[in-house]
């Protein structure tokens, strides 16, 4: 099973995206990590680490919004135990759309590889389907 | 003075510099970044100082590692992982060296630079702290091979970092929030390059240079 960690500078973006993914994907382990150590806008590597370690899934996908969310996630990845690092993947995809696509697939039992491909596809997927 | 004690006085000096220059760093960051660099660096180095004082590390390497972990955990912006990685790389380089030679100090700065470049995927000229640390590492190496003391190596690194930071003013940014600004980032000094200079300057002063 694939679990998802959502890292945003904003606690509300992280929580809101998690809410959306959970609603559409049902039984899926999704953890939101938003804001810095004081709950202000920013990122908090220690909470990112606990979020990853809290997931009881075979594989973990991490979605990041911008800048320091990416740097923090990469830094945490190097600090984790190797057996944890092995099951984690950073996903290079749009935050909301990517997490949504991956979440829906993951809820069907798809593996990480397939979920990551769907998330990456969300970058170029048209929303207006050529009607613009 | 032992190396652990020297690290403590260095971090104390760095924390004081971040406090003194907090407003200025925030002002620089407000011009092209998100305006939190001064506060973040101040918070991070306060946390690093507290961690050193509370955990009482026994080796130079462990002391620098404690600083790295505090910065990674408490800064809140990109500077945390970046400076944290810098201290982590320096700690690895100085492992087992309780009385580092000037060459070791120069190597630690070089290692810090390569860690920052790798973590931030930045190169020289991208208008980041790499623009201060690259000339700093070069100057440190030259100072060490010309027979300067460890303090002299840090002083040479700090002076070169200062020039490197000044040279970021006309640049267009290619990393971080400023990279979205295009030409509008030109004419402003990169706050990360400036804080890199301030930290090296504090390190040099803590050794009396």
CATH number at residue A111: 3.40.50.510
Taking Cα atoms as reference points, which of B165, B172, B171, B177 lies closest to residue B201? B165
| A35 within domain boundaries | yes
pLDDT score, position B76: 81
Any chain A CB within 8 A of the CB of B76? Answer: yes
Active site residue A23: no
CA distance B122 to B131: 9
| A41 within domain boundaries | yes
| A101 within domain boundaries | yes
pLDDT (tens digit per residue) in B53-76: 999 999 999 999 999 999 998 888
| A130 within domain boundaries | no
Q: CB B73 to CB A38 under 8 A?
A: no
What are the respective helix, strand and coil percentages of chain A, to the nearest 5? 50, 15, 35
What does the DSSP assignment read for A58-117? SEEEEEE-SHHHHHHHHHHHHHS-HHHHTTEEEE-S-HHHHHHHHHHHHHTT--HHHHHH
Any chain A CB within 8 A of the CB of B35? Answer: no
Q: CB A36 to CB B84 under 8 A?
A: no
**What residues in B contact A42, CB-CB < 8 Å?**
36, 40, 76-77
- Among residues A2, A4, A9, A69, which one is catalytic? A9
CA distance B7 to B49: 10
Q: CB B119 to CB A36 under 8 A?
A: no
| A58 within domain boundaries | yes
Any chain B CB within 8 A of the CB of A92? Answer: no
Any chain B CB within 8 A of the CB of A19? Answer: no
**pTM for this prediction:** 0.89
CA distance B203 to B151: 8
Q: CB A71 to CB B177 under 8 A?
A: no
What are the respective helix, strand and coil percentages of chain B, to the nearest 5? 75, 0, 25
Q: CB B85 to CB A38 under 8 A?
A: no
CA distance A85 to A81: 6
Pairing status of strand A2-8 against strand A59-64:
parallel
CA distance B131 to B29: 16
pLDDT (tens digit per residue) in B36-53: 899 999 999 999 999 999
Domain count, chain A: 1
| A131 within domain boundaries | no
Q: Is B1's pLDDT higher than 70?
A: no
Give residue limits of the domains in chain B: 3-206
Q: Which domain holds residue A44?
A: 2-87+94-121
**What residues in A contact B34, CB-CB < 8 Å?**
41
pLDDT score, position A132: 61
Q: C-alpha A10: how far from its chain's center?
A: 14
Any chain B CB within 8 A of the CB of A37? Answer: yes
| A57 within domain boundaries | yes
Bridge partners, residue A5, by sequence: A31, A62
pLDDT (tens digit per residue) in A56-91: 999 999 999 998 999 999 999 988 999 999 999 999
Classified by CATH at the fold level, domain B3-206 comes out as 1.25.40
| A126 within domain boundaries | no
Please list, in sequence order, all residues whose beta carbon lies within 8 angstroms of the beta carbon of residue A19, skipping any fewer than 6 positions away.
none
CA distance B145 to B128: 27
Please list, in sequence order, all residues whose beta carbon lies within 8 angstroms of the beta carbon of residue A130, skipping any fewer than 6 positions away.
none
pLDDT score, position B21: 98
Q: Tell me which H or E stretch contains B13.
A: helix B3-20
Distance (Å) of CA A69 to CA A33, A97, B29, B54, B103: 10, 17, 18, 29, 35
For range B86-90, the mean pLDDT: 96
CA distance B150 to B154: 6
């Amino acid at each position: 099973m694939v679990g998802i960690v959502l890292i945003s500078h904003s606690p509300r973006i992280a929580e809101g995206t998690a809410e959306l993914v959970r609603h559409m994907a049902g039984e899926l382990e999704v953890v939101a990590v938003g804001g810095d150590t004081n709950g202000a806008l920013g990122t908090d590597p220690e909470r990112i680490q606990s979020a990853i370690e809290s997931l009881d899934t075979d594989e973990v996908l991490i979605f990041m919004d911008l800048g320091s969310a990416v740097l923090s996630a990469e830094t945490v990845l190097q600090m984790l135990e190797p057996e944890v690092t092995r099951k984690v993947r950073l996903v290079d995809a749009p935050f909301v759309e990517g997490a949504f696509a991956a979440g829906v697939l993951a809820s069907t039992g798809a593996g990480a590889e397939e979920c990551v491909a769907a998330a990456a596809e969300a970058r170029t997927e048209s929303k207006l389907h050529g009607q613009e | 003075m032992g190396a652990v004690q020297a690290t403590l006085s260095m971090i104390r000096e760095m924390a004081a510099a971040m406090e003194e220059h907090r407003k200025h760093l925030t002002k620089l960051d407000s011009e092209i970044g998100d305006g939190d660099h001064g506060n973040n660096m101040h918070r991070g180095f306060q946390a690093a100082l507290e961690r050193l004082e509370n955990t009482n590390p026994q080796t130079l390497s462990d002391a620098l590692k404690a600083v790295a972990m505090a910065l990674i955990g408490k800064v809140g912006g990109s500077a945390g992982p970046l400076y944290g990685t810098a201290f982590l790389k320096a700690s690895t380089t100085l492992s087992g060296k309780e009385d580092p030679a000037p060459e070791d100090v120069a190597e630690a700065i070089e290692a810090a630079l390569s860690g920052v470049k790798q973590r931030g995927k930045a190169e020289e000229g991208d208008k980041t702290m790499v623009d201060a640390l690259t000339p700093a590492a070069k100057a440190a190496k030259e100072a060490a091979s010309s027979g300067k003391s460890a303090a002299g190596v840090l002083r040479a690194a700090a002076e070169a970092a200062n020039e490197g930071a000044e040279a970021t003013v006309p640049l267009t940014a290619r990393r971080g929030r400023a990279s979205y600004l295009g030409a509008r980032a030109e004419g402003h000094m990169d706050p990360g390059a400036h804080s890199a200079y301030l930290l090296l300057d504090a390190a040099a002063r803590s050794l009396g240079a």
